[in-house]
A and B are shown apart, each in its own frame.
Chain A
Amino acid sequence: MPFTDQEILETLRMVELETLDVRTTTLGIDLFDCADPDLESTAEKIYTKVVHHARNLVEVADSIAADYGIPIVNKRIAVTPISMIGAASGSSDLVPLARALDAAAKEVGVDFIGGFSAYVHKGFTRADDALFNSIPQALAETDHVCASLSLGTTRAGINMDAVVRFSGMVLESARLTADRGGLGCAKLVCFMNPVEDNPFVAGAHIGIGEPETVINVGVSGPGVVRSALARLDPDADLLAVSETIKRMAFKVTRVGELVGREAARRLGTMFGIVDVSLAPTPAEGDSVSDILELIGVDRTGAPGTTAAVALLTDAVKKGGAMASSSVGGLSGAFIPVSEDQGMINAVRDGSLSLAKLEAMTTVCSVGLDMVAVPGDTPADVLTGIVADEMAIGMVNNKTTAVRIIPVPGKGPGETVEWGGLLGTAIVQDPGRFGAKVLHNRGGRIPAPIQSYRN
């Protein structure tokens, strides 16, 4: 059956007017064979392997974008958690490995490389300890390296010692990048139940069950869903809303599937997954917040917002699951505050509080993302915020994350401009009370009863 004019014009409208794009093609590269007793040699091997495999990544992604007329905005690399690769060296300073990753990213022209990472949900190895100590300096010194940490899983519980160290690390990263508004923290994220095939930064890395190399694709498309809902009759009921989102998610995911297959074919590697996530950008209309308001809340953050996020995330997953057999990663809806103009406005207008944002993360696909707090936020307050978010993920068997930026020298209500995709943030108020005793106790929150499933 030939395409109808309506179908053709719909596709063109999505690309031209509704900012449909493939947000990222991320090449996963396993680095286990780079481990070496000598740290310098490890760095040498890491640089060489990343460049060897990713040399054509940008060229291939650009050629697919040209052939299919679909923009591929970012080209990225994800690698094996570096604490595992640095372990053989016995070094207590793993910053040289971050430099090697950064140099490789620059050489091949990708915008980010993720995987300066460690899994510490049950405890620390010597190398994990070294990585934790190296992260603030590594993030301050490099431009493209992202760090992610697994602080808990539903199976293991929450490693509160690691949460406490994470809080200190966030404050130290902010201090070392104070001249850039604490930007180091934008490249640092902690996870509960991390996914090992996540193509999106800052959490991108390749888990231990992943192949030698793999292409993972992250689609986007808040603009497409937003316009479809804007065209829907305001009297249409919520089943119609869900159905409309599903249909759009199907179409967007299909584009990701096409690009993923083609990238795998052209690079001669494996096609891993499509991450079906509505990922907003600061661009006009490319907003998840706008979608929530079109679903029916007066302003994002008002009562009803959590229900709207739940409907949205579920419909996106259902549409995506029909469109591809390889849906993976985080898949759902992201709510990064500083990267979404609608969210920024909602914070400015006093509609979206930190507490409401936390409630929304119980049903979105990730967690507290790109949230700015005052630069003098005490460590125990950060520990409390992170522990709460980890607990939500642990009990609900889902991935949650925290990417929080204590902006040096700024207080609640003040604005910080990071520019580009990271956008603008208004510093949010975490309240007057903290969790000093919880912070000082440390230890581990045991795995919840629902983890005993064997």
Chain B
Amino acid sequence: MARRFITVEDIHRANGAELVLDAETVVTPQALEAARAAGIVLRGPNGNYAEPAPDRGPDAGNVQRHLPHMPEPPSEFSGGTGVVVTAVGRNRPGILAQITAALSQGGASVIDISQKTVDDWFHLVLTVELLGDATFESLSQRLSALGGEDDFVVRAMHERVFRFMHRV
């Protein structure tokens, strides 16, 4: 195991103008300051010292290997990411068109759609699949920009949440 940390004390004890560090060694902010003040150059294996990526420990690697194999409730979606879109609000002509236009611009294809109206109010549930490079984040932003107070509210949620919650 490489040396874990370099502290101010280590800088004070250093002989010479240069300290050569292992790849995993982390220098404390105080030691960085002390080295700068003392004119000591900190070198890693590939040039000047740069903070290494966190070493999460020996178990982390195993987990990263087995995590993808953890069973999940089966998905309806073959390739793309599934998203459940819901909208609730006051009914008026053009809402569905507005939402489906946003879905189309966001790269989402509609798999299932259901709408109900009660008096002046509607609620709409769409299950869609993201295709190609489309991302959940951009779709979600596009949808949340629609409607507004006294009109309607749209919400997008990853289908994985519903799968985990409602399927064994």
Contact = CB atoms under 8 A, between A and B. Distances in A.
Interface of A: 1-3, 5, 7-12, 30, 33-34, 36, 38, 40-41, 44-45, 47-49, 52-53, 66-70, 211-214, 251, 254-255, 257-258, 261, 264-265, 267-271
B56 A5 contact: no
Contacts of A33: 4-5
A45 B28 contact: yes
- The B interface, classified by DSSP as helix, strand, loop or mixed, is mixed
Contact of A211 (B59, B64, B160): B59
Contact of A8 (B31, B54, B84, B137): B84
Nearest to A267: B56
- The A interface, classified by DSSP as helix, strand, loop or mixed, is helix
B157 to A, nearest CB: 4
A8 B125 contact: yes
Contact of A251 (B5, B60, B165): B165
B5 A49 contact: yes
29 contacts: A3-B84, A3-B162, A7-B162, A8-B86, A12-B155, A30-B57, A34-B5, A38-B9, A41-B7, A44-B8, A48-B28, A52-B26, A67-B137, A68-B158, A211-B57, A212-B58, A212-B59, A213-B54, A214-B59, A251-B166, A254-B164, A258-B164, A261-B67, A261-B70, A264-B67, A265-B67, A267-B56, A270-B57, A270-B59
A347 B62 CA distance: 50
B63 A44 contact: no
A310 B31 CA distance: 54
A5 B88 CA distance: 13
Given A3-B159, A48-B5, A269-B63, 17 more contacts: A5-B125, A7-B165, A8-B86, A8-B162, A12-B157, A41-B9, A44-B7, A44-B30, A45-B7, A53-B54, A53-B56, A66-B140, A70-B161, A211-B57, A213-B60, A258-B160, A270-B63
A198 B28 CA distance: 28
B48 interface: no
Contacts of A41: 7-9
A211 B91 CA distance: 55
Nearest to A69: B157
B29 interface: yes
Interface string B103-115: 0000000011010
Contacts of B150: none
B156 interface: yes
A209 to B, nearest CB: 12
